[in-house]
Structure 1
Amino acid sequence: MSSPSSPARGRPARLDRARTLQTALALLNQSGLDALTMRRLADAMDVRAGALYRYFATKQDLLTAMAERMMEGVAESAAAMADGDWSERLAALARAQRTALLAHRDGARVFAGTHSTGASTLGFADAFVGVLREAGFSDGDAARALYTVANYTVGHTLEEQAALQPGDGAPEGAGLLRGAVTAGTYPHLSATLPTLTSTDFASLFEFGLDLLVEGLRGRHAPSAVK
């Protein structure tokens, strides 16, 4: 007699960890994080909701595993994109993380709410810290830079994805900002409104990333640049 997660002999298995993650990410991309529930995931896999807890004790465990899956190959892709000095390698890591999160609807929201200690996430962090340590930065500065750049990347991507939800046109927030500024007396905001309401998020990201890199460069001159 078969169980919901162990069908009869000769039939393909309906439930395993890898397929559960794959289905969860598909549902995320289809409907977003708010619509992703354990019950809906179970329905999509044609199993009882309780069967999912064999692999994920809570929804938070599932989200953490999804975040880890998103980070697969990020460090490796960054290494392939840049082989220059420490600043180029650091920037490549940040860009690769942003790209990975953008590949999934609400990817930044999922990642921001988790604390994955999987091989992909830790491998990314190790590569980032290693770039700075090898360049001569202190251990403490390298670790603090990891938090600073990663938090910037995730935060920027979270706002980017919130502004451009699937199916939307121009970001609603940009329209509201434009209307409020033009209706009031804000000369400095009015002068910079084209940039403030821009949807060129890649350029905005690069500007902030450049500020962080230059700040690191100015804060500490490495004793040895590799």
Structure 2
Amino acid sequence: MVDAALAVLDETGIEGLTVRAVAERLGVKAPALYWHVRDKQALVDEMGTRVWSGIAAEAAAVPRTGWREVCAGYAWAARRGLLAHRDGARVFSGTYLTDAEVLRQQEGTLAWLGERGFTAEAATDAFAVLTAFVVGHCIEEQARLQAEHDGYTLARRAERVGADEHPLVAASGRHMFAGDGGTRFDALLRVVLDGIAGLRSERR
């Protein structure tokens, strides 16, 4: 069921994701799926749990050479997981995790960070900031790809804002959209990590 739902999402986007569409892909009637999920949100929760489980597993495999590397590894894993599916960031942010094992996997990382100057609260805040950054950035990345598909370009942006009268806005646009999404993500992630450094209670 989850595989079919992810396939529907990848083909149609969030607007086309319905219990009926998933049922049709499985070759059954929609009421048959309601034996397994009570509504569309419950289906999305199952899909989100699958995606975040994969992200957690990938993040757990990141070599623990330093706290910055661990946090960055999580961020990159989350980006890959969310971008792997059409509208992934919009669909899977804030979903209810139906498998508690995804949460239990955090125990080792939280303990490890605790040995490196992060209280449990600080480590929690660090990952909350990272998650918010990744989700927001991925939403922007996927929206940008759609805009480019629709013919929206940097030149059109400059024309709309009036680049001659607003040179700083035009320059800001050139900087914001320079390079690919990964390059921009890496640069901003470094800024986020610099901020997270301030959460440490001691330097180790």
Same fold? TM cut 0.5: yes
Letter in 1 for 2:189: L
Residue pair 2:163, 2:170 contacting (<8 A) in 1 also: no
2-structure distance, mates of 1:131, 1:173: 45
What is the CA deviation profile of residues 122-147 of structure 1, one whole-angstrom value per residue up to 9, with x for unaligned ones? 25654554453232212221111121
Give 1:1-226 correspondences, 5 Å limit: 20-119=1-100, 121-123=102-104, 125-126=106-107, 129-165=110-146, 168=149, 172=152, 174=154, 176-183=156-163, 185-198=165-178, 200-222=180-202, 225=204
Q: Counterpart of 2:85 in 1: which secondary structure?
A: coil
Ranges of 4+ aligned residues in structure 1 off by more than 6 Å: none
**Comparing both chains, which one has the higher relative contact order based on Cα–Cα distances under 8 Å and sequence gaps of 6 or more?**
2
Between the two proteins, the alignment pairs up a number of residues equal to 204
Q: Counterpart of 1:71 in 2: which secondary structure?
A: helix
Q: TM-score, normalised by structure 2?
A: 0.87
Q: CA deviation at 1:106?
A: 0.9
- Give the RMSD, CA atoms, in angstroms: 2.5
Query: Per the alignment, do residues 166 and 51 of structure 1 end up closer, same or farther by CA in structure 2, a change over 3 Å counting?
Result: farther
Higher helix share: 2
2-structure distance, mates of 1:179, 1:115: 43
Q: Name the counterpart of 1:11.
A: none
Residue pair 1:112, 1:154 contacting (<8 A) in 2 also: yes
- Gap runs ≥5 in structure 2: none
- Sequence identity (%): 34
